[in-house]
Amino acid sequence: MENQHRLEDNNGSVIRDFKDQVILVTGGSRGIGKAITKAFAALGASCVINYRSDKTAAAELIEELDSDRHTSLQANIANPSQAEKLIQDVLARYGQIDVLINNAGMGSHHPIDEMNYADWQRHWQSILNLNLTAGSNLSYLVSQDMIKRKKGRIINVTSRGAFRGEPLQPAYGASKAAMNSLTQSLAYSLAPYQIFVGAVAPGFVETDMAKERLEGPRGDGIRSQSPMNRVAKPEEVAQAVILMASSPIWMTGGIFDVNGASYFRT
């Protein structure tokens, strides 16, 4: 049974063992976050699921994982005080955070030619608060302990939209581009402390957040963006996160594209 805690390459060599690792996943109860949580749990990690409001989904996932190693903690991480308490609570229970996955995020339809000024500001403020500032604050809070321990990993879930733009939800694209930039800034700053910082940038993923668009009149067009004529499964993004968490520290600052060849950046 020990092998279930190991990630192996094609030659069967052990890349990394997560058995003694504590993983904090924001937005960890649904969609991509749920898949990430399950992937790390299957490799032996102790997972902390952060959720904002869906207590039922978080409880169901903890029950599905079926181990007292895991826990769920409610916090609106867009609130700096709640973000700070979340990190304090995890450290109090586990004594360490080995990997922070900044996954929680939101998007909304707010094209510039359809919004009034007040609504434009509202969309930008709410999206940037969660998609950018919350991840920045959590990275700061987690890094303080990681600096002392001279080890740790921070992985940000960004988006293909950071590179190609998002005309129907520009604040979303801008927030993800900023997270990519933050990823590389922190990678440089934290490298002397042996702390890895990287990002995974998916395209469309089959989640509740994308369900309406995928099932609507634009669905076929979205799927056809990839030559595989589909969008990603959450589990595929989770595997990219696992690979990044398993990468040599020399790959710090890297951004993995996970978009099914639907967009190539230069």
| Per-residue model confidence (pLDDT) at position 16 | 64
| Per-residue model confidence (pLDDT) at position 14 | 44
Below-50 pLDDT ranges, the chain: 1-4, 9-15
Instruction: Give helix then strand counts, H and E, for the chain.
Output: 10, 9
| Per-residue model confidence (pLDDT) at position 213 | 82
Place of tokens 């995020």: 105
| Per-residue model confidence (pLDDT) at position 69 | 95
116-129 burial code (b ≥16 CB/10 A, e <16)? eeeebeebbeebbb
| Per-residue model confidence (pLDDT) at position 6 | 55
Place of tokens 């809070």: 141
Residues labelled as active-site residues: 172
Point out which residues pair with 74 in neighbouring strands.
Answer: 51
List CB contacts of 162: < 8 A, sequence separation 6 or more: 173, 176, 177, 179, 180, 201
| Per-residue model confidence (pLDDT) at position 53 | 93
CA distance 254 to 252: 5
Q: What is the pLDDT of residues 103-162, one digit of tens each?
A: 999 999 999 999 999 999 999 999 999 999 999 999 999 999 999 999 999 999 999 999
Q: What is the DSSP string of 203-261?
A: -SBSSHHHHHHHHSTTHHHHHTTSTTSS-B-HHHHHHHHHHHHTS-GGGTT-EEEESTT
Residue 77 φ/ψ, nearest 5 degrees: -70, -10
Over the Cα atoms of the chain, what is R_g? Answer: 18
List CB contacts of 118: < 8 A, sequence separation 6 or more: none
- 2-258: what fold? Rossmann fold (3.40.50)
| Per-residue model confidence (pLDDT) at position 100 | 98
